[in-house]
Amino acid sequence: MIDEHDIWQALRELPDPEIPTINLVDLGVILSVELDAGRRCARVLLLPTFNGCPAIELMRDQIRARLEQLGLEARVELAREVRWSTERISAAGRAALASAGIAPPGVPGSTLIPLIEPARCPHCGSRHTTLESAFGPTLCRAIGHCRDCQQPFEQFKPL
Amino acid sequence: MALETPPATQERDHTRAALAELLLALADDEFVTGYANSEWTGIAPILEEDIAFSSLAQDELGHARLFYELLAELRGGAVSPDEIAYDRPPEGFRNAQLAERPRGDWAYSVSRQFLYDTADYVRLECLLGSRYTPLAQAAASVIREERYHLLHAHTWLARLAAGDTARERQHAAFTALWPDALGLFEPLPGEAALVESGIQPAPSAALCQRWLEQIEPMLRQLGLPWPFAQRAAGWEPLLAPHYGGRAGRHSREFAQLYDTITSVRRLEPGAQW
């Protein structure tokens, strides 16, 4: 008999469409999973990351397709009451980002200008880095530069 | 807390209509600004800025969609956010005229981004306290992303000011931009009802003063044009603001932009992507 734990496990197999080394559960975008009494329908609450992120529709389709394989009809809804934040990324998720060469996000600053804290270089581990641009290949990533190993790198923006 | 105690029907309808105007103004500012920013994709002076302006555009369109969604919900879900965004005549747009001007030179675009995003930030901060819960939630979501826009805006403000020709162009840009920028705080139709009901916790005039107080030290320090006189009530503009956008009156330049924005949609209305 299928239960909610199985659904969470299945969702762990789904990669983020833009950063495939991290899965949707570790990214923290799954707020909740509910199975109805008949165990035929599942309601998944999904948290958008950046508002303009085009991956959200892909995530929705992926979740629906995966749960269909489990014989479930999935209702994937966007949650607006709870906001996703980079603090929802799990320890495993942070490690997955680092292994893909993306510096994990720092703590979102309370000041007007975030990202002042230098990121740790994902190549050599140095803290001797600068922020080159707050904008990178996707909305959630910024570009840093390491003064020690002289390499550019991507960093996940704290949100 | 949502608006749980409905006032008399007529008053309620009036407040609802004013709320729709507010959502449309917020959405249209972001929508049109997003389009304008996207014009730099592929042609910005350096690759990083190509990416930055494209990302700014993507962010703003995402914010616009969020506000159009709120409006669609308010209208009972009978129209989709896309229909609201694209299926209107030009006079149905409520963006300030600042958003619709051609991108101009680089100094003009980054100076506009500075004025727009600093103003937008003040507006969003105010809406965090909105008594219309969906709007307060949207503001809380959007404002976190806008901090990255501010970082970009501040960086370029200082960078251009430190230049030579760049500084001259920056001066010219600010001179041209001020009347349009003040138009961002044109009071909305029905604003009294919005303030009264707590949907918009402060009137536009107060927000405008808050904005000017915030940016004045930076702009004056850099010696940029500051066409205001200090009065007991705050900063008084020495030039006439370009109002009209919030009432659907747009510049001639908007006609062309409108044409571009809606061109694909008009090719085949209702097409599924």
Question: Which member of B51, B52, B144 has the closest CB to residue A159?
Answer: B144
Residue B199 — pLDDT band, cuts 50, 70, 90? Answer: very high
Chain B residue with the nearest C-alpha to that of A108: B144
Taking 50 as the threshold, does the pLDDT of residue B167 lie above it? yes
The answer to whether A110 contacts chain B (CB < 8 Å) is no
Full-prediction pTM beyond 0.95?
Answer: no
Question: ipTM for the complex?
Answer: 0.89
Percent of chain B at pLDDT exceeding 70: 97
pLDDT > 70? residue A115: no
Q: Does B124 touch chain A (CB under 8 A)?
A: no
Distance from CA of A2 to the nearest CA of B (A): 35
Judge whether residue B1 has pLDDT over 50. no
A79 close to B (CB below 8 A): no
| Span B91-122, pLDDT tens digits | 999 999 999 999 999 999 999 999 999 999 99
Q: Does B70 touch chain A (CB under 8 A)?
A: no
- Contact between A137 and A131 under an 8 Å Cβ cutoff? The reply is no
Instruction: Please tell me the predicted confidence (pLDDT) of residue A110.
Output: 55
Place of tokens 């789904």: A14
Residues A141 and A54: their CA atoms lie apart, in Å, by: 14
Chain B residues touching residue A134 (CB < 8 angstroms):
52, 148, 151-152
pLDDT tens digit sequence for A118-148: 889 999 999 999 989 999 999 999 999 999 9
Query: Backbone phi, then psi, for B13, in 5-degree steps?
Result: -60, -40
B144 contacts chain A (CB < 8 A): yes
Subunit contact A136:B65, Cβ cutoff 8 A: no
Cβ-contact B161, B222 below 8 angstroms: yes
- B154 touches A at CB < 8 Å: yes
Mean pLDDT of A93-98: 95
Q: Token pair of B221, please?
A: 């320090």
Q: How far apart are CA A5 and CA A22, in angstroms?
A: 19
Say whether pLDDT at B7 is over 70.
no
Partners of residue B54 in chain A, C-beta under 8 Å: 135
Q: Check CB contact under 8 Å for B147 and A114.
A: yes
Nearest residue in B to A51, CA atom = B62
Would you say residue B6 has pLDDT above 60? Answer: no
Rounded distance between C-alpha atoms, residue B205 and residue B231, angstroms: 14
**Interchain pair B55, A83: CB under 8 A:** no
What does the alpha-carbon distance between residue A57 and residue A13 come to, in Å, rounded to a whole number? Answer: 17
